[in-house]
Structures are given as C-alpha cells and as structure tokens.
Amino acid sequence: MAKETSGFTWYKNSSSLLGRSSGSGHPQAYLRTKFNAIAAAKLDSSGKIQVGATFPEGSLIVKELFENTTTLSQYAILYKKSESPDADAKGWVWGYIGSKGKVVEPASNKGSSCIGCHSQADNIDYMLMNKYFP
Ligand code: HEC
C-alpha cells in the first residue's frame, strides 16, 4: 500500500523532494508526502492540509524518506483504521517500513515513539507537514 502512487495526491501537489525540516524525527536528508484519495479529501486546492481537518476512516498518508535524491530508504505510514488492534485512541495506525519491506517500527507499538512529537502545537489530526512546509 505504501509503495502505491496511483490515486495519491502529493503534498502541495508536488512530487519534488523536500529537504528534511528542523523538526523531522528522522536522519534521511529528503522527504515527500502523499495522500490516498480518502485522505486527499482533506487537502485544499493548493495541496495543503485543511486547517482543523480530521481525516476520515481509510485515510493513508505516507512520508517517503530518501537518503539522497535517488535512494528511497523508508516509508513513514499513518493509516486511519479504528478497528485495528494496533490503532491509537484517534484511530491511527503508525509504522515505519523499509523500502524492501522490512518493518522498522511495528504498528503494534501504537505510535508510542511517534505520538509525542506529532502532538506538538499546530498539528492537524497529528499531521505536521503544514507546520514545517507552509
Ligand atoms: C521528533 C519528531 C518526530 C517523530 C518522533 C516522528 N515524526 Fe513524523 N513527522 C515529524 C515532522 C516534523 C514531520 C513533517 C515533515 C518533516 O519535516 O519530516 C513529520 C511527518 C510525518 C508524516 C507525514 C504526514 C504529516 O503531515 O505529518 C508521517 C506519515 C509521519 N511523520 C509518520 C511518523 C511515524 C510513523 C513516526 C514514528 C514511527 C514518526 N512520524 C515520528 C516529526 C516527527
């Protein structure tokens, strides 16, 4: 699912790589973020997340992490699936998966290493792209 690009919308409607932000919780130099069709309903016409949005069930948001401009190393995944045993209190399932399918941060951790940072001021339903890439 994370590898899929068809039917996805890129943040700010651009698939260009972005340099990691000062707040990024990962070492990779570049990133870009995509939203499946359900999640994209909460983007505005410029491809930014609508202020105050709550993403619907089935939303899949994937941040692709690149070591350099050509090497994708990891997918950071947020999937809203409330009925999952791995979902957090808001229904999100969190995980990191390597580019070759290796689980780096299992969903069963329920975002325990992610939620603290993603709860910071100005998050939108935990999302931070708008804050760091306005
Ligand atoms: C130290 C802070 C920090 C931690 C820890 C962290 N993140 Fe993030 N995350 C960010 C920031 C900042 C962004 C905005 C893009 C960027 O600069 O990387 C982001 C963006 C994302 C996005 C793109 C959607 C969005 O708008 O936020 C996903 C998906 C994501 N992170 C998943 C995860 C997962 C899964 C974990 C835990 C395994 C995690 N993050 C841990 C800071 C963090």
Task: Give the Å distance between the CA of 114 and the centre of ligand 1.
Answer: 7
- The whole-number pLDDT of residue 34 equals 98
Q: Which two tokens stand for residue 110?
A: 């329920």
CA of 7 to the centre of ligand 1 (A): 22
Q: Give the per-residue pLDDT at 118.
A: 97
d(CA 102, CA 16) in angstroms, rounded, equals 25
Dig out the tokens for 9 from the structure. Answer: 């919308």
> Phi, psi at residue 57, to the nearest 5°?
-50, 140
Residue 43 is predicted with a pLDDT of: 98
Evaluate if residue 25 carries a pLDDT over 90: no
Condensed to tens digits (0 to 9), the pLDDT of residues 44-61 reads 999 999 999 999 999 999
Write the residue with the smallest CA distance to atom 33 of ligand 1.
76
Q: Whose CA is nearest to atom 24 of ligand 1?
A: 127
Tell whether the model's pLDDT for residue 26 goes beyond 90: no
Provide the pLDDT confidence category of residue 1 given band limits of 50, 70 and 90: confident
Instruction: Answer whether 114 contacts ligand 1 (Cβ < 6 A).
Output: yes
Ligand 1, residue 21: give the atom nearest the CA.
17
CA-CA distance, 37 to 31, in Å (whole number)?
A: 20
> Does the C-beta of 132 come closer than 6 Å to ligand 1?
yes
Q: In this predicted structure, what is the pLDDT of residue 57? A: 98
| pLDDT at residue 134 in the model | 96
Q: What is the pLDDT of residue 75?
A: 97
CA 1 to ligand 1 centroid distance, Å = 18
Over the range 75-97, which residues count as b (16 or more CB within 10 Å of their CB) and which as e? bbbbbbbeeeebbbeebbbbbbb
Buried b (16+ CB within 10 A) or exposed e, 3-22: eeeeebbbbbeeeebbebee
CA nearest to 3, candidates 60, 86, 42? 60
pLDDT digits (tens, 9 = 90+) for 75-129: 999 999 999 999 999 999 999 999 999 999 999 999 999 999 999 999 999 999 9
- Structure tokens of 97? 């998966």
Distance 106 CA to ligand 1 centre (A): 15
